[in-house]
Amino acid sequence: MKIARFSRIGFIMAAAGSAVGLGNIWKFPYITGEYGGGAFVLIYLVTVLLIGFSIMIAEMLIGYLGRADTVSSFENLAPTRKHLWKFGGFQSLAGLFVMIYYSVVIGWIFHYIVSALFGLPSSVDEAKTVFSTMLHSDFKTQLFYHTLSFLIVTFVIARGIKGGIEKLNMVLMPMLFIIVGVMFLYATTLDGFHKAVEFMFKPDFSKINSTAFVTAVGHAFFTLSLGMGSIMTYSASLEKNANLVKSSIIVVILDTAIALFAGLMLFTFLYEYGGQPSSGPGLVFISLPSVFYQMGMLGNIFAVMFFVSLAFAGLTSAVSLVEPMVQYFIDRFSWGRKKASVMTSLFFYIVGIVAILSHIDGYSSYLTWGSRNFFDWADFLTAAFMLPVGGLIMSVFVGYVLPKSQVEKVLRPQLGRTFEVWYFSLRYIAPVSLVIVMLNLVGVL
Ligand code: TRP
């Protein structure tokens, strides 16, 4: 159906670009901080290995065999009840829901790159004021940069798989690795590094409650880009005979490594300069800038480098969040790529403006329900609910609905004897854990 295919390395970069995102550098450190460190990291790592990895292979397999947008892939592959299974593909809508707040955060990052060029806040209090002024009263700045993020994402996607998505990832991802690598190496030379290692790897289970558990499992999905068709859509453009298992291993390793490196680096800086690990979503926007200020000139350079790397990570993921629906409109409605890109992006752009408003004084009270405003609901419902549901659908589909022989034909040569281990994990461990997470969620809500 499609002609443009990823090159082998292009696919790995794009899949890694999707996985490595704000989730790794912005979210992972702050939720680790909020839920007390080591034990949380442990649950996250176990989930990534036991469930994330199995579902990554399953999601790639659906795309690889289906060769089309997510809806058509489910429909093509389902042996019976095609009209029902095709709804599995509508999980892709979750990507647009994620984008509602994701694009806004990328906007904050753009704003922070520009501000870091001109100077940094000299104390945590000042940094707090700067962030909360932007968040609660500066609608125009947020709108401006959210618009910029929308324009870049739309432009890249409109250029297609090869000329847009692959190119973006081939350029930005290596730069991201270098920036994070350099900053991480510097962090290892500081005294705070040991404290950071201890914080992240010494489990204290007293800090774990059901919210922490649900958050850790939800995050494992989120960070690997699982459960909504990003990986599936990219895999539909894989060349024949591609090695799904090898690609999954590389993507999982890169994603985990970047999260751990970013976490260790941030916590080192915080410990070294007296910041707080548990400062919530403002961690990289409040604690970090004031820490960078204390580093002097180097801190200024680091601040710009850091926010640039964050922007790169965010953009490569954003593209993968939108592409599944774009592909859907191209395949099912025969829209041109340009039209599909613009129409799809307009959705998250417009609803994203509501997410901005949900923080703005005077509007936020109308856009808050329970303990969360619109922005937070978009985050919570996607990560804690939609992605696990998507993961469940995929694991059931590949584990029970696709004939085993079809699955085995592709994956046995790649997995060898571990095929049975993978199949078991996909059929039993993954769905059971996901159901537990969802039941837990009912309590959490
Ligand atoms: N994984 C990305 C991050 O960590 C976000 C992302 C991109 C994503 N595509 C996805 C999350 C698909 C869930 C599903 O920031």
Is 409 contained in some domain? yes
Dist CA 285 CA 287 (whole Å): 6
Ligand 1 centroid, distance to 251 Cα (angstroms): 12
Q: Both tokens of residue 295?
A: 């580093």
Ligand 1 centroid, distance to 387 Cα (angstroms): 10
| Phi, psi of 368, rounded to the nearest 5 degrees | -120, 130
Is 3 contained in some domain? no
Is 213 contained in some domain? yes
Is 326 contained in some domain? yes
What's the one-letter identity of residue 283?
L
Domain that holds residue 416: 8-441
Query: CA-CA distances (angstroms) from residue 223 to 26, 78, 212, 425?
Result: 11, 28, 16, 20
pLDDT digits (tens, 9 = 90+) for 298-356: 899 999 999 999 999 999 999 999 999 999 999 999 999 999 999 999 999 999 999 99
Output the domain CATH number for residue 389. 1.20.1740.10
Is 2 contained in some domain? no
Residues with pLDDT less than 50, the chain: 2
Compute the CA torsion angle 129, 132, 133, 138 (nearest 10 deg): 160
**Contact (Cβ atoms closer than 8 angstroms) between residue 199 and residue 267:** yes
Q: Both tokens of residue 115?
A: 């501000």
Ligand 1 centroid, distance to 204 Cα (angstroms): 28
Is 318 contained in some domain? yes
pLDDT digits (tens, 9 = 90+) for 3-56: 578 999 999 999 999 999 999 999 999 899 888 899 999 999 998 998 899 999
Query: Does ligand 1 have an atom closer than 6 angstroms to the CB of 279?
Result: no
CA–centroid distance for 250 within its chain: 16
Compute the CA torsion angle 131, 137, 138, 140 (nearest 10 deg): 150
Domain count within the chain: 1
Question: What per-residue confidence (pLDDT) applies to 444?
Answer: 57
**Contact (Cβ atoms closer than 8 angstroms) between residue 108 and residue 145:** yes
Ligand 1 centroid, distance to 19 Cα (angstroms): 5
* Residue indicated by tokens 């618009």: 147
Nearest CA to 48 among 238, 225, 176, 264? 225
Question: What per-residue confidence (pLDDT) applies to 279?
Answer: 66
Is 229 contained in some domain? yes
Sign of the Cα torsion 382, 386, 388, 393 reads negative
Closest approach atom of ligand 1 to CA 18? 7
What's the one-letter identity of residue 373?
N
Is 138 contained in some domain? yes
**Contact (Cβ atoms closer than 8 angstroms) between residue 321 and residue 230:** yes
Residue 373, beta-bridge partner list: 368
Nearest CA to 26 among 307, 243, 304? 307
Ligand 1 centroid, distance to 223 Cα (angstroms): 5
State which of 59, 258, 320 you would mutate to test the pocket of ligand 1, scoring each by most atoms of that ligand within 8 A of its C-beta: 320
